[in-house]
Amino acid sequence: MDADLPAAFELYRKDPNRFITCIMNLQVYGLHSSLLRAFGSFTQDGELTGLLLRYSNICLAADGDGMAGDAFAKVIDDETGLAGVRGAIETVRAVAQSLRHYKLSSMEVSTFMRLDEPIRLPAETFTHVRGVTLDDLDLVSDLYAQAGVMYRSRMNVRSMLERAPNSPFFAAQVNEDGRPLLVSAALLNIMSAEGGLIGGVFTRPEHRGRGWAAKCTAAVSLALQDQGRLPCLFYENPVAGRVYSRLGFREVAFWAVLYLHLPHS
């Protein structure tokens, strides 16, 4: 698919909000990585119309209008070990209707947001927020052990921290009983020349309602903007959406997530 890369970037230029996460993954992993495989949908004239990426147990799918959904579903049905599909809402809905091997457990709508203006929090709000390093591995692992669906294993946390400082990872720290405690954090799921996809925004339940998540998200966003990269993120929880809106993020597209299972599992 090397020869199709210029066409993939042209899809991104025409509709950046729909294709930016595909492009970020292609920029980070490339087409020859063992961690990612890429597929495309084409017209009869050979024009690229959509992208399907497989990494880990997830597929990422996007096209202009959902017409590639049937073709993408055939590819997905031939894959093993998939847990879900994330992508443009029209594409994902079409995939859901065409799957034959995998069955749909549930579908969740996500809102895609991007930050095109300077972050709205004043500098003094970052007093207790700092970048974390490998020295903080125990603290970060303890935080995300409480994070439910956003759980990150110690190995995953170590991998992310080993990419620092090129992958910003910020947390809010307080002291309890004289010992440091991370109460909230935000990180980058992926970062490329185009921008960074923020995720893992989590605050311990007993410390919620104090603005920690907003501060951590703002710190990651500011680090991206200082590097000339676009901060972007997804949300499913309306409360989180309101927090991000107050920081200056704006809603630009709807995506969806399919959670899959096999009939015998």
Kindly report, residue by residue over 2-11, the tens digit of the pLDDT.
788 999 999 9
In the DSSP assignment, the letter for residue 219 is H
Tell me which of 51 and 265 has the higher pLDDT: 51
Q: What is the pLDDT of residue 1?
A: 64
Q: Are 62 and 20 in contact (CB under 8 A)?
A: no
Instruction: Give the pTM.
Output: 0.90
Pairing verdict, β 230-235 and 195-203: parallel
Would you place residue 222 in the very low, low, confident or very high pLDDT band (cuts 50, 70, 90)? very high
Q: What is the pLDDT of residue 121?
A: 80
Between CA 118 and CA 141 the distance in angstroms is 31
Two tokens at 131?
Answer: 């970048």
Tell me which of 62 and 156 has the higher pLDDT: 62
Average pLDDT over residues 228-241: 94
Q: What is the pLDDT of residue 126?
A: 81
Q: Does position 92 have pLDDT exceeding 90, yes or no?
A: yes
Two tokens at 171?
Answer: 């947390």
Q: What is the pLDDT of residue 265?
A: 53
Average pLDDT over residues 101-110: 94
Kindly report, residue by residue over 182-204, the tens digit of the pLDDT.
999 999 999 999 999 999 999 99
Q: What is the pLDDT of residue 50?
A: 97
Q: What is the pLDDT of residue 166?
A: 66
Average pLDDT over residues 241-253: 95
Q: Are 102 and 78 in contact (CB under 8 A)?
A: no
Kindly report, residue by residue over 11-70, the tens digit of the pLDDT.
999 999 999 999 999 999 988 888 899 999 999 999 999 999 999 899 999 999 999 999
Between CA 126 and CA 116 the distance in angstroms is 20
Q: Kindly give, in sequence order, each residue whose CB lies less than 8 Å from that of residue 135, ignoring residues fewer than 6 positions away.
A: none
Domain boundaries, the chain: 2-111+255-261, 123-248
First to last CA, the chain: 34
Q: What is the pLDDT of residue 164?
A: 67
CATH of domain 2-111+255-261: 3.40.630
Between CA 212 and CA 91 the distance in angstroms is 35
Between CA 116 and CA 107 the distance in angstroms is 29
Q: What is the pLDDT of residue 165?
A: 64
Portion of the chain with pLDDT greater than 70, in percent: 98
Topology match between the domains 2-111+255-261 and 123-248: yes
Q: What is the pLDDT of residue 4?
A: 87
Average pLDDT over residues 231-236: 95
Q: Single out the residue of 79, 77, 108 nearest to residue 93, CA to CA.
A: 108
The helix/strand count (H/E) of the chain reads as 8, 11
According to CATH, the superfamily of the domain at 123-248 is Gcn5-related N-acetyltransferase (GNAT) (3.40.630.30)
Q: What is the pLDDT of residue 83?
A: 94
Would you place residue 212 in the very low, low, confident or very high pLDDT band (cuts 50, 70, 90)? very high
Between CA 24 and CA 12 the distance in angstroms is 10
